[in-house]
Structure 1
Amino acid sequence: MKKRINNFSRKMTKNLNLPYSHFMLYETGMDDSYFLKAQIGIVSNWYDGNPCNMHLDQLGKKIKSSIINKKNLIGFQFTTIGISDGITMETYGKIYYSLYSRELIEDRV
């Protein structure tokens, strides 16, 4: 038996009772042929305020383009919260928020 790579994606794309979901996907530029492909999420915590993270948007785009080149995959890029340990260094933010934010980021992904 051939394993389907789009087990999760097809729950949305093949369900005819979800016309609004289909509409939203069509508005992203997808057509019916994309509904056969597995949807892959590409996450990063990119933002311009941190030199450690500011390149992650470009890295995500490269990953997305490599996924698009695969036969049965489509990539959707999204972001999550980020914090700069360097900016918060020697402040209460480092002690009370920066290190704990790593768990928040993990939970969001």
Structure 2
Amino acid sequence: MAAVDVGNFVKRNFPIRSPTRYHEAPAAEHTVTGPLCTPNDVIGKRVALLPVEAGALLGVQHSGAYGPTASPGLFLSHGHPAEVLVHDGRTRLVRERDTPEGLLAKQRVLAY
């Protein structure tokens, strides 16, 4: 089942773990949010995790379409995140994240 759909928001938590610290026991509950300035950009509520800092890498498992195909792409000029596929214990980068330089490279300044 997809995490989001057009006009809908996440209504249940998906398993969220640190891919680098998955053997350690969770320490506290956290609310995991995305980078957008909207109260709807919540990925998980009361998620048991180890202590995390801004920018930490987290894996959202079994989330279906929580990615560019069903996310508010380019909202407030935020680019798309990287996408990593985990299959049979192997990880593969399937889409690189957008960079500010890449987003701005498509713009043209008109001289008057």
| TM-score normalised by the chain length of structure 2 | 0.18
Say which structure is richer in strand.
Answer: 2
Say which structure is richer in helix.
Answer: 1
| TM-score normalised by the chain length of structure 1 | 0.18
